[in-house]
Amino acid sequence: MWKSVETLRPYLWRYRWGMFTGLLCLVIKDFASAAQPLMIGGAVDALTRSLRSGLFARYAAYLVGLSVIQGIFQYWMRVIIIGISRDIEYDLRNDLFRHLVSLSPDYYQRTRTGDIMARSTNDLNAVRMMLGPGIMYWVETSLTFVLAIAVMVSKDWRLALLSILPAPAVSFAVIFFGRTIHERFERIQAQFSDISSRVQENLAGVRMVRAFAQEGAELRRFEILNRQYIAENLKLVKLQGIFQPLLEALIGLTFLVVLWAGGYQVLRGRITLGSFIMFNTYMGRLVWPMIALGWVVNLMQRGSASLGRINQILAETPTIAAPLGPKPVTGIRGEIEFRNVSMDYGSGPVVERIDLRVPAASTIAVVGHTGSGKSTLVSLIPRLMDPTGGAVLVDGIDLRQLDPAELRRHIGFVPQETFLFSATIAENIAFGVDDATEGEIQRAAEIAGLAGDIEGFPQGYATMVGERGITLSGGQKQRTAIARAILRNPAILILDDALSSVDTLTEERI
């Protein structure tokens, strides 16, 4: 658990003063709360000796004052600590997204989108609960327990000893059940990732599912995953169903023992009635920490399990990264050279010992049979991957000496698989060019042979294209992607089979 939590140290340090203030409010609140039973016991003894209205009013005022202090600092404790947990969740989500977009394509080829989504949402929420309510109530219950026992020991160590009799059994239960809860929650989150992946795949491929009449089959597969998810959750619920009542039974038994022993002490005159009432009040205060301990352990184990899953993503390192001292990328002419380039994905070479030079301002076509490595070859130019052998150069500079982000600003790339965002056509064309004017967008659409189609849409360039451009035809998607690349006015334009869904006449015009 602690190894995975180490990731949070920079975030906790960033908000250290806020966390310190929140915990200080917690301490003041707990001291005010711990003083109340002491005040009640003193009041009972004082009133037993002398029943005066002034004395009663004074003790009542003390109790009201302590309650007000407790309420004020409890409010700020929750506002500050829960607020910080939200801030850390915000920072961690941003850092996770920043890391995800920096990872290379090979990571996404071996990782399901649904799994990433589950870790970015469900797991982050569990981490927030660990940092907010988890830490807050862990400290609060521990401090409440220590303060109550300290006062009880100072009054009667024998009764205090009876009060902490269940502590060893509680510690054993926490260790045993905590480890099991951690393991089962990890399985639950893994199952949730499977469900998320299945939903994502079916939504993305809804046309294919319907075309092959697989709605029933996909529903059955989803029901199986859903049943497995419910089964894993029920296992955890059963475990919690044993853990919580066990703690409550130990507490209830201890309460009975203290009541019996304390009552006997009062009858024998060894302690005052006020001390006995004080002890019972403290025992009542100890019920919450004992019961809350099970909930807190559950939160902490869930959070650490989820943090471990997030750490697995953060531990991934990008295979494509900028060099320590990148050469400046300015005024690219567009000369491309492949020097003895080879590419192997692990199952044999896809591209082997390629030598090719493309002069600036020239146009070439790479032709070959399916699977011959054409897409691999062109993906090396924007450095979406690095060759396993040889080097790719632009204007005589090895791409590995350049900052990939700077290089890609000078390249317009239309991949074989067209991707559009759930936005307007204009926003999709202008993607990556924040200051694009309406005229520039229309000009790019005209060159891509898309302007005529857009004019026929009811909302023109403001037409929403839907998820992955589902409202557009295959040809319209490809032409939108081409317009997007053209708008950049790149030094290098790469079209990877980008006209496969376009009719012959439109292809000629483009």
Residue 72 has what pLDDT? 94
Q: Does domain 410-510 have CATH number 3.40.50.300?
A: yes
HSE value, Cβ hemisphere, 13 Å, CA-based, for 499: 14
Residue pair 424/464 in contact (Cβ under 8 Å)? The answer is yes
d(CA 281, CA 63): 14
d(CA 446, CA 453): 10
Phi and psi at residue 496, to the nearest 5°: -95, 90
Residue 246 has what pLDDT? 76
Residue pair 400/341 in contact (Cβ under 8 Å)? The answer is no
Residue 84 has what pLDDT? 93
Pick from 402, 254, 228: nearest CA to 328: 402
Asked, colleague to colleague, whether 331-403 and 410-510 share their fold, the answer is yes
CATH H-level superfamily of 91-314: ABC transporter type 1, transmembrane domain (1.20.1560.10)
Residue 107 has what pLDDT? 83
Residue pair 46/69 in contact (Cβ under 8 Å)? The answer is no
d(CA 81, CA 22): 5
Domain-wise residue ranges, the chain: 91-314, 331-403, 410-510
d(CA 447, CA 428): 16
d(CA 391, CA 380): 9
Residue 149 has what pLDDT? 81
Divide the 510 residues of the chain into consecutive groups of 10 and give the mean pLDDT of each group.
71 91 93 83 70 70 87 93 92 90 81 81 87 89 85 76 70 72 78 80 70 76 85 82 75 72 70 73 73 76 85 85 80 87 82 87 86 84 86 88 86 85 86 84 86 84 81 83 87 82 72
Q: Which fold has domain 331-403?
A: Rossmann fold (3.40.50)
C-alpha pair distances (Å), 392 with each of 10, 377, 397, 485, 492: 39, 10, 8, 21, 14
Alpha-helical (H) ranges within 130-166 are: 135-155, 157-163
Residue pair 309/186 in contact (Cβ under 8 Å)? The answer is yes
d(CA 396, CA 388): 19
